[in-house]
Amino acid sequence: MKPLGRFHAHVYFDLHELEQAIDLRREIGRRFAVPIDAVYDRPIGPHSKGTFQIVFRLEDFGVIVPWLIQHRGALDVLVHGDTGEHYVDHTQHVLWLGNSQRLYTEMFQRANDNAAPLFAG
């Protein structure tokens, strides 16, 4: 198993929560020097709701995750390790803040599959 050196946090929202999600994304960008993806207001990849992604290092986990716990409001957040094994990362190396959301994990390659994944988020 590869070590967890990097993490993704996916913030989920419905259209009526879009403004709250944009505000949270803006505040994350103000407070933390981490890459933040664009806001997608509809499902994309394995995600069944609107989302944006934050990428951060293990060293930042202890600051970013507690901050998300306190500031996510009613938005649900998936935090997962990024080992490059997308199926395992999204199903086993996970932490949910709030409610878990449906993920379309069938699109990921399995660890023993040589095919390229359809999505690498």
What is the tens place of the pLDDT at every residue in 51-108? 999 999 999 999 999 999 999 999 999 999 999 888 888 988 899 999 999 888 887 8
CB 87 within 8 A of CB 109: yes
Q: What are phi and psi of 83, to 5 degrees?
A: -100, -5
Q: How confident is the prediction for the chain on average, in pLDDT?
A: 89
Tell me the whole-structure pTM to 2 decimals.
0.86
Which DSSP category does 47 fall into?
Answer: B
The sign of the torsion formed by the CA atoms of 92, 29, 31, 18 equals negative
CATH fold label, 6-107: Alpha-Beta Plaits (3.30.70)
CA triple 40-82-12, angle to 5 deg: 30
pLDDT exceeds cutoff 50 at 23:
yes
